[in-house]
Amino acid sequence: AQTVTQSQPEMSVQEAETVTLSCTYDTSESDYYLFWYKQPPSRQMILVIRQEAYKQQNATENRFSVNFQKAAKSFSLKISDSQLGDAAMYFCAYRRFQGAQKLVFGQGTRLTINP
Amino acid sequence: EAQVTQNPRYLITVTGKKLTVTCSQNMNHEYMSWYRQDPGLGLRQIYYSMNVEVTDKGDVPEGYKVSRKEKRNFPLILESPSPNQTSLYFCASSRYAGELFFGEGSRLTVL
């Protein structure tokens, strides 16, 4: 079974600085998707970024980018120019390429932005 | 507006009193699922449905039931709730191989 591990329960960063959230996963499959979701205090699950495992290029979405290391099974999220609105719980998630659409989530990292 | 709607958003109930959390999506998605979120555990899948009348267990199905009689609706039923089912619940939907859309969550407390 696939597992996802986020080893940082909490992180904090100064506003306008850069922060990196870590995620590792375990799978025997070669094709899959990886995601980062943001959960602000409103509890809504918001997709931040996705990465297809067959793509070597790291995904980017404005201030958000990932460092995808397939051999190491690592998928970290970098947030540049941190803003107060980035404060949230962040979840890393894995999904198989085919078959059921189940997301396997990590435990989450709570990110605090210090003004 | 494309959305997944859950009700109720908040509920406090007592042990053993049957309850249903409704979920409806307006995107004509084939796939729907339920997750529960607990501190330190992330989100875990309870049940999922690939289409009408097709449902299957996820990772933590004990104590829950689901049904999929219509494509848009996927209710979660707790026949005899217990305190260990106190949690935050999310419904999600997607097209096959598409992005998951989440509802706003339902906070359930079982006393």
Q: What pLDDT shows up at residue B102? A: 95
pLDDT of residue A100: 67
pLDDT of A114 above 80:
yes
Residue-level pLDDT at B7: 97
Contact B56 A4 (CB under 8 A): no
pLDDT digits (tens, 9 = 90+) for B9-52: 999 999 999 999 999 999 999 999 999 999 999 999 999 999 99
How many percent of chain B have pLDDT more than 90?
92
Residue B96 token pair: 């096959």
pLDDT at A56: 87
Residue B1's pLDDT band (cuts 50, 70, 90): confident
Q: Which residues of B fall within a CB distance of 8 Å from A9? A: 40
Closest-CA residue in chain B for A10?
Answer: B40
Phi, psi of A31 (to 5 degrees): -115, 130
pLDDT surpasses 90 at B99: no
The residues, ordered by sequence, that sit 6+ positions from A71 with a Cβ below 8 Å of its Cβ are: none
Task: Give the mean model confidence (pLDDT) for residues A97-114.
Answer: 89
Q: What is the mean pLDDT of residues B93-97?
A: 82
Quote the strand ranges of chain B, DSSP E: 4-7, 10-13, 19-25, 31-38, 42-51, 54-57, 65-66, 76-78, 87-94, 101-102, 106-110
pLDDT, tens digit (0-9, with 9 covering 90-100), for A16-67: 999 999 999 999 999 999 999 999 999 999 999 999 999 989 999 999 999 9
Summarize pLDDT for A70-104 with one digit per residue, the tens: 999 999 999 999 999 999 999 999 998 877 678 99
Strands B106-110 and B101-102, sheet pairing: unpaired
Residue A69 in this model has a pLDDT that exceeds 80: yes
Of A50, A102, A107, the CB nearest to B40: A107
Nearest to B48 among A4, A102, A108 (CB): A102
- Examine the pLDDT at A113 and tell me if it is beyond 90: yes
pLDDT of residue B2: 84
